[in-house]
Structure 1
Amino acid sequence: MDVENQLLSCQVCFEQYDHEEHQPKLLPCHHTFCMKCIDGLKTSKGKAKCPTCRQEVGLPPGGATHLQTNFYIMEMEELLMGMTKRQKDQDGCQTHANQPLSFFCSKCETAICRDCTILSHRESEGHVITEVAVMKGNFTKKLQERLTKLRQLMQSEEDILSALQVQLSSLNGLQKMTEADIDTSLDKCCLAIEERRQKMKENLRTQHGHIAAKLKDMIIETEMHYNQLTSTSEQISHTIKKGKLQDLIDTAKQEDANNIEGEDATNCSSKEVTIEYPQFSVKDFDALQEIRGGLNRMGSLRNSKWMPAKVDMEPESATASLESCVKVAIANYEDKPLSCLKVALDILDPFGDKVCSVSTEERGNGNYSFTFRPQISGPHKCRLVFHDQTLKEVPILVQSNNPVMKFGEEGDGPGQLFRPRHVHAVGENYFVLDLNKVQIFDKDGKYVRHFHLAAMEEKKEGQLTGSSDVCVNAAKEEIICPEAYIQSSQLYADRILIFDFDGRLKQVMPICNGEKSGGVCVGTNSQGDIIVSDYCHEKLLIFNKKGDITSTFRGIKRPGTIAIGQDDDIMVCDQERNCVLVLNRHASFKHQIGFEGKGKGQFKSPSGVCTDRHGNIIVGDGRNNRLQVFKYDGTFVSCIESTGDKLHQPLGISTTDDGHVLVADKLNHCIKKYKYM
């Protein structure tokens, strides 16, 4: 019955397959359901979503009727029905009452009882008698062998179908590639023809210019000769009109002398009038034949077996923000590996966005390796693309980036933390700010020592003192922190305290001029300047080593944590505008990162920021309880969601040189460490 239920019944309606409306039909995704159910799954777009793999597949215009029938299931059904028919009387013998059918007669192909073996199915008469249990085993073994063979055949057909689909996609891609090659080749011919056209026109213009100049010179010369003849004609007419003999004789003699020169000039001028003008001449038939012959020799279409047909894709386990790899093997239909193909891998995240920066490495023998860095966790799709055609698509589940280590627990004892605000990686140790003390842990998270931020000025009754932030000047082995206090539920800080690594107070720097200051976050640059964010007065202050204010920035609503980047640039969290501002070392605005929201690159009360040696900016997204990584220009890179060990109000952040980030998880009272590079 298990075989019958699994193979001979539709897994949607659970009706047994038949030759009518419940005929088994193969979907393009290779899963089988009855014709009636497939028609019921059809959408208005002529597609259906497979109940097994959830893939949306296209249906023929005529519906499920025109899908391929699964004849293997039909054949199996006939075999099992025949077996059922032969065994339907197993409950008892119809001839001898109350006798179980314990034997089987191979000659008659029917089950018989003990009395039948004596009375009507005697072995002496040629009947072959076998126990029913033995026959069941024989038939079961035979059907299992047939079932195994059928499944092998079905798998073979699936492989062939997959290869054919890959070849169809490859063919479409190769068509585009070949068309581009044809265009490139024949464009060269068109370019050569165009160059010839322009060259001949240029020659024509040159010759035309020479001839036109010559004709203009001849026109001027002829006009001068004509004017001379006109003057002479007028002079002769005037002499004739006067009628004086002597004038007539003198004029005649003069004209007799000039006539010879005039005739010579006229003859000479007549010879020069004939001009040869260039005309286009070509032996059309011969030239066109040569061109056509050349074009025919330029290229031809020939069939090739080097077309992708078989694609194997093996995605490695992937984690958000960390580098992952998909290995691909490509071969033609004859299993010959195909190398040097222009293939690409598109990685689509749960929002349908492409993952940027997918690098390709050809490893030879038809093997390719695609490396990428998932931005977020969740189900992704990997599509192998060949000339804009998808050859194969496989799913990949990107895991959340969870901590590789965490240390600290709620309490006020050594190694215990209570709402830690900041952490700094200094050499092989981690410095953690825990209210009014700094605790030092080694690289394995083991407690080493601590010191109190002593020498804090006494406050009035009802004021709690401590520190709200801390930064480290590793070069000078200094710890810099504001002396913070709470008054009337408000947090203030009037002074900056500077300690050495052993907790000894080195310097006290006032940061207010008689008024309460909200300078609760600090940073220091390579010049030793101290940057203070004053949320009370909505500004950022830069102090030099002497404690003088050198720059002020007021374009911020609720300044928070500070980090120092390249060229001493300043990054500061604006918790009210839900962004991070990037300023230069003189506190002039450069650009903004992020805006309010829950999506990629968006913040809800950013509460921590730091940079790494690669120029990345890591931001603690306070109320979204995650970390986000950006390039220096603000381009979103990835998200550390830590769904396996949720963050609860992440605050101070620090990075290590080996690609890890540490974060003070405030309300979980611990420090968490993540691999992000």
Structure 2
Amino acid sequence: MAEVRFPEDEFDEDSLTCPVCQELYKDPKLLPCLHTFCRKCLETWAAKQSAGRKFTCPLCRSPVELPCPVWSGGVDKLYSNFYINKLLDFRRLRQSKTSRVLCEMCKSGIQAAAVCGDCSFLLCNNCVKIHGHTPALKDHVIITLYDIDNATKRSKYTRQVYCKKHSQRTTFYCEPCETLVCRDCTVDDHCRDRDGENHDPRELNKVTPKCKDCIEDLMKKTEDAVITKINQQEENLDKGLKTLDKNYAEEKKKIKQHYAKLMSTLKLEEEQMIQKLKKVKKDRKNELIHRKEEMARDLKETREGLLFCQNVLVRNSDTELLFYWQQMEKRLQELASQDTGNATFGDFKAVSFHPCSLPRIWGSLSVFPWIDVKGPTVVGLPCSVTVTADNLDPTGEDVGPQVEVISPKGKTTLIETTATSPSVTSGKGQTSRVRSFSAKWRPQESGKHSLGVCMGGLKDLGSLTVDVGSNNPVLRFGRKGSQQGQFNRPTDIAVRGDRLYVPDTFNHRVQVFDLNGKFRYSFSTITSSGSIAVQIDGTIVVRSAMEVAKFSPSGKTLQKFPLDEYCIKPYGLAVQRDGRVVVTDPDKHSIFLFEEDGTLVKQVKGQGRGEGQFKEPCFVCVDNEDNITVSDRDRDCVLVFDKNIRFKNKFGEYGNQPQNMVYPLGVSADSRGNIVLANRGGQNIKHSEKLQVFRPNGTWVSTISSDGDKLNLPHGVAVTEDGHVFVADPGDHCIRKYRYM
């Protein structure tokens, strides 16, 4: 018999009550946000919101997408809550003390005395004995009333998961398939040695430590990223509320002292000023309270998610942990990535009353701005700056504020803001509400930046210190070798849909991954593979040695055509929408345009620095309009041509500034026409081994730095639709992924 220690308070009705129907759970189902509800309650809730597959959690409103529509049993596909089912089993067993609860296995009408974690049945004493003597049932986990009342250790009892195909307990976990399997499945469907398939079934206790470490690490990161920050900001908001009340009292006193000296005819003006002050306080206070409530909700959701994960880890059930670990991982990543803002009141600027001399005998009231930054404060990435202020500056002019940014090295930049709320006036041009202004800021260096508000010729009307971090890679995978997921000098890379294609140069193959770096499959190119492009229909085009080879999406050779008739040393490759192939040759100072079958359409050549001339054309890409963009590594520039290789423009030059280029290599264009460029750099060049982002017209946007896990020898680049760029680094034999937009 298994031993169990079960706190009395967890038998409380509230812990076993569905938040929707307010009754005991019936077939409890777990949502991705880790909240639990009855299956029927979820079906009703989902049907009211949508007849399809999408709805929101009844508690936290997190989006939920079912694997199939509601009417096709989509809710039933959700995971059952192991622990709630366990509590319900214990509750039914304990009820047998005071009421007649019958055995559910033999249907003999005998009172139940135990519960089976495998069968999920209440058992009488006879059925308990049968379980112990029946070979197929002897390993079932059984809990008795005696165990519940007298044991001191925490139970390992839990409802077991059985294979639907073989009706066996799932005692293995196949990591590549990310699923629990039974022993027969490891032979039939998940055999490690099955040709052409990637399986690795392992015992649960060998996989659990890895999953447990992952969840614990994510829990720590979530707590550090969200709870600690929200607690700090709550303290700042509380300080702001207290400061606001104190400021209001002090300024009210000033107003009364000033107007007490004036004639009685100014009494009305005094009251108007006080009313305005009250309105300012109300607006500011409502804003602070609203933000605090938002943080309280975020804190509650985060704590609930962490509590669920903590309870799963404490219960120490391998099956339960492996059943949920992916869902918990995803939820913790969502919580850890929450945007909690950068609000602070360390430099709070108060509301001030300004008395005026005759003949203008009334005063003026100015609200000093409150500045806030939202979004990732990372080098090269845009974030949102919000200024909350009275739209009337101390001189009486209706103007918007500017944000003065001072970098760690003392460089000053002014950012113009745009009003996001209208101006409302009442009497003598006085505003009656606080206004909001916003701007976009893209920091260009890491370290502590000072953001100050300027308005009407005055500076330092509100300030905020923001710590800008390095744009380190969000993903890195691969190392030198010949096994799957390893590389030998990968020089180029391509993205199409949710797949990443890497020509593994000296392993003579192309490896295919998903956008999270998970290996999918590979195929041979016979000779060394160089540049790569993928057509809209999935056809994979590779410049392999002195030929262009086309492969099907699965890696089957479709067509080849030679290049040695035209080229000396072919390098970069790109494919236009109609299938025409563009090839560069740095040794021949040329770019070539071929038909799909290899027929030469056009060659553009010319060694020099004139318009449309090359020295060493290297990597090449095409945009959505088939415009051709070429990096010239010796001229330190980028040249742009139309789809027929007619010159359009050139941008870039050698130098030590962030916008300058030094030995540019990989180039890629996104769907908006933005161009991402890899710079290899050189000695004594500050911006070596960096990525650069340019607008379609060649205007420099940002330089992507990396203080941690720096680029070694950046070559080919490929952008994704969600604002990330992959970089092939043959120096480190790896692939790195950065955010660039």
Q: TM-score, normalised by structure 1?
A: 0.49
Q: Give 1 or 2 for the bigger CA radius of gyration.
A: 1
Query: Comparing both structures, which one devotes a greater share of its residues to helix?
Result: 1
Query: Comparing both structures, which one devotes a greater share of its residues to strand?
Result: 1
